[in-house]
């Protein structure tokens, strides 16, 4: 499977700031071509690459006041090995987190999905969240968590993923959020999905069903969106003026949502 992904961002910063980008494909993926370019006020910047958990690659640097242009391009050949798991993962991804309030949603999860496990549980949670929510671009705030998403009954991909993760954790299933490039996604953008640990493996759960799970490309993995944001800035105010994301695959797979699928 050959997948080609890219991201182009343009932003203005009004004062000195520290920026951290998470737009590169995760370590462990085989890229025949990869280019990364950050240009600030017309001058190239070489970022410091920092390895985060599960192969996440962070690009960090400092800038002053001005305009930044970021470009990323990669051609991914073949598939990555299945995601590793550690005992610490199974502890971390069972706990409530900033955007996945599994403790609050415990009664809801147990009343809706009692007695289900494995593939049947993942399918039921995904279908339930897909039925309860409407995909409405711009409908949620960056501070919205799973509880507010369920109450509002609408959101975007990260909101769907947060609700799936929270419900699964409430049922004692380790679950986490993954930011991805998603061939076939419409409208095209960075995408977010859940990843759940059942039968000793990590499997993708995407309640939006907007793109085939088999061709997703992992970028960042963590507890929720707090760990997987494509851009973090500290210091000056940042205005994102342009964001273009592309993701294509040589042959778009057919995704049977009733079957388990892994990120490769």
pLDDT > 90: percent of the chain: 93
For the chain, state the CA radius of gyration.
Answer: 18
pLDDT at residue 220 greater than cutoff 90: yes
Tell me the two tokens of residue 151.
């109450």
Q: Which domains does the chain have, with CATH numbers?
A: 2-79+232-246 (2.60.40.2250), 87-225 (3.10.620.30)
Residue 103 DSSP one-character state = T
- What's the pLDDT score for residue 240? 97
Secondary element (H or E) of residue 5: strand 2-13
Residues in contact with 151: Cβ distance below 8 Å, sequence separation at least 6, in sequence order:
none
Residue 15 — very low, low, confident or very high, per pLDDT cuts 50/70/90? very high
- What's the pLDDT score for residue 218? 97
- Cβ pair 195, 100 in contact under 8 A: no
What are 234-249's pLDDT values in tens digits? 999 999 999 999 999 9
- What's the pLDDT score for residue 191? 98
- Longest Cα–Cα distance of the chain, Å, equals 59
pLDDT at residue 19 greater than cutoff 90: yes
Distance between CA atoms of 27 and 220, rounded to whole angstroms?
10
Whole-number average pLDDT of the chain: 96
What are 108-152's pLDDT values in tens digits? 999 999 999 999 999 999 999 999 999 999 999 999 999 999 999
- What's the pLDDT score for residue 257? 83
Q: Which string of DSSP letters, residue by residue, matches 106-143?
A: HHHHHHHHTT--HHHHHHHHHHHHHHH-EE-TT-S-TT
pLDDT at residue 83 greater than cutoff 80: no
Residue 225 neighbours by CB distance under 10 Å: 24
Q: Is the peptide bond before 187 cis (omega within 30 degrees of 0)?
A: yes
Residue 84 — very low, low, confident or very high, per pLDDT cuts 50/70/90? confident
Residue 79 — very low, low, confident or very high, per pLDDT cuts 50/70/90? confident
Residue 1 neighbours by CB distance under 10 Å: 15
């Amino acid at each position: 499977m050959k997948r080609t992904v890219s991201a182009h961002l343009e932003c203005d910063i009004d004062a000195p700031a520290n920026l951290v980008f998470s737009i590169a494909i995760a370590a462990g993926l085989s890229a025949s071509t990869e280019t990364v370019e950050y240009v600030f006020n017309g001058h190239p910047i070489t970022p410091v690459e920092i390895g985060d958990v599960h192969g996440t690659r962070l690009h960090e640097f400092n800038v002053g006041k001005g305009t930044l242009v970021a470009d990323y391009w990669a051609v991914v050949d073949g598939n990555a090995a299945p995601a590793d798991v550690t005992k610490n993962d199974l502890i971390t991804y069972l706990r409530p987190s900033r955007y996945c309030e599994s403790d609050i949603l415990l009664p809801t999860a147990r009343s809706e999905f009692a007695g289900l496990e494995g593939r049947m549980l993942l399918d039921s949670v995904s279908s339930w969240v897909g039925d309860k929510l409407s995909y409405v671009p711009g409908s949620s705030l960056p501070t919205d968590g799973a509880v507010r998403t369920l109450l509002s009954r609408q959101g975007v991909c990260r909101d769907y993923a947060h609700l799936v993760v929270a419900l699964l954790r409430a049922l004692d299933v380790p679950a986490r959020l993954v930011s991805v490039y998603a061939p076939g996604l419409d409208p095209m953008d960075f995408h977010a999905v859940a990843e759940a640990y059942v039968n000793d493996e990590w499997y993708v759960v995407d309640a939006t069903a907007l793109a085939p799970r088999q061709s997703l490309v992992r970028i960042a993995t963590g507890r929720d969106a707090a760990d997987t944001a494509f851009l973090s800035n500290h210091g000056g105010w940042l205005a994102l003026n342009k964001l273009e994301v592309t993701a294509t695959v040589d042959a778009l797979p057919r995704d049977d949502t009733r079957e388990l699928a892994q990120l490769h």
